[in-house]
Amino acid sequence: MSPHIALYLKELKGIRLVSAVLVVATVAIVLVVLNDASDGGVHASMVLLFLPYLSPPVLAGVLIHSITQEWSGNTQHQWLALPVPRAALLLTKVAAVLTLAAAVFLVDTFAVHMIYEQVLATVEGFLPPPGFPSSRSAPTGFDAQDLWAAALSMYGSITVLLLGLGLAAATLKTVASRFLGLITVSVFLGGLWLTSWFAPSVTGMIGTLETGAMYNPNLAAAFDGYLYMTFMGVAFGAAGIFIFDRYADA
């Protein structure tokens, strides 16, 4: 087995408890909502489906803990001595957390999709049938494919941004000996401030990408912002990897 795969599986095992809690909680929410919606009506419990989409801050905390526990558990010597590049040590932890994020997203968005289809079918029952779109296409033109694309863009970009900030904060904490809590707060607040400060100019340039196959009038207004947050998340993460590679010490 490749050492990278073995390390990835080890990291998955390391977060198995929080993974089980998040996935089971998401599945429970989905089951409750789908059970309530089985009568074809609209229920207040459907709002619960938005809760799993609020998990990115939790995922960032999981990533930070996964990295810093190597030092708090005094296992950093063995970890840093593994026969893989230092960047791979961090990226396998990120990959494990992203796997958890993907599981939460797929389970929750599947339920949102089912509810969306049901609502469309209910709406169509009150509209004249001739020429009306099928149950897979809303009167506004926002169909199931757009729903998945919008949900993935929103959840994915926020997750990447916060994981990037979490990676930067965690690596700074590994090279510092004091003010560790302040470092985390400063990185997140400073990173979010930088992200908002650069947003107007950068999103204007990204807007030129909203043509061709990727263009959809329902998603175009938000696409540049989601792409920008993803870019910033990758940039913060890359900065964290650079600091870790150069300055982290057992």
Q: For residue 207, with 0-12 CB atoms within 10 Å meaning exposed, 13-18 middle and 19 or more buried, which class applies? A: middle
Q: Is the dihedral of CA 236, 240, 246, 247 positive or negative?
A: positive
pLDDT of residue 135: 45
Measured CA to CA, the distance from residue 106 to residue 155 in angstroms comes to: 11
For the record, the structure tokens of 40 come out as 């074809």
pLDDT score of 142:
63
For the whole model, what pTM was predicted? 0.85
Instruction: Pull the structure tokens for residue 113.
Output: 């999709």
Query: According to the model, what pLDDT value does residue 243 have?
Result: 92
Predicted pLDDT at 175: 85
Element counts in the chain: helices (H) and strands (E):
8, 0
**Helix/strand/coil for 161:** helix
Predicted confidence pLDDT, tens digits, the chain (250 residues): 788 899 999 999 999 999 999 999 999 999 999 888 877 667 788 889 999 999 999 999 999 999 999 988 888 889 988 889 999 999 999 999 999 999 999 999 999 998 888 777 766 555 555 555 544 445 455 677 888 888 999 999 999 999 999 999 999 998 887 888 899 999 999 999 999 888 766 555 555 555 544 455 545 556 777 888 999 999 999 999 999 998 877 6
Per-residue pLDDT at 242:
94
